[in-house]
Amino acid sequence: MPERPYVIDELISAKTIAARIEDLSREIAEEFAGTDKLIVVGLLRGSFVFIADLVRELDLPIEVDFLEASSYGDGMESSREVRILKDLRGAIEGRDVLVVEDIVDTGYTLKHVSGLLRARKPARMKTIALLNKQVRREVDFNADWVGFEIPDEFVVGYGIDFAQRNRDLPYIGTVRFT
């Protein structure tokens, strides 16, 4: 539970997110057209709302799996040391893989996770992040698709938490301490 009082200012509305996901799904379906071996991998926990909306828009036969990597803990700053807390249930060798992340910030998490998954020899692997904080990047990594570029601010909602709260907000907002 957060320790200081704060309010949330809306940054990206639920409507805007839904419209962007329609466009992204079309691009992804084009990229993976004809495949019958796509596994959509959600990074827990922040991507759970995004992946749910994304797969329901995707006009492709898919499987879903999840992986959990540590990063922020309950704080507001990346630890830069990425550990796998929960691995995939299934093998991905020879499969098409789409990794779904909530936010790329320093870049450590997705760079580490995609390196790890690539070593398992998928036929093809792509990454998508709902949000990108380009100015915060510390390692050379860019997702293949990005929903929205956002400024260097701490965001919550649409699956993304502040000390485990606010994941249930239908929109993305910034945290402002009062």
Report the site for ligand 5GP in 120-159 (rule: CB under 6 A): 154-156
Least gap, CB of 59 to ligand 5GP (angstroms): 27
The helix (run of H) or strand (run of E) holding residue 117 is helix 108-118
Is 105 an active-site residue? yes
Report the Cα 36 to chain-centroid distance in Å.
Answer: 23
46 scored as a contact of Mg ion (CB under 5 A)? yes
Q: Identify which of residues 80 and 121 has a Cβ nearer to Mg ion in the complex.
A: 80
ω before 45 within 30° of 0 (cis)?
Answer: yes
Which DSSP category does 115 fall into? H
Cα dihedral 76→82→83→87 (10° resolution):
100
Judged by CB under 6 A, which of 78, 116, 124, 144 binds ligand 5GP?
A: 78
Which residue, 53 or 105, has its beta carbon nearer to ligand 5GP?
105
Catalytic residue among 96, 102, 105, 161: 105
Active site residues: 105
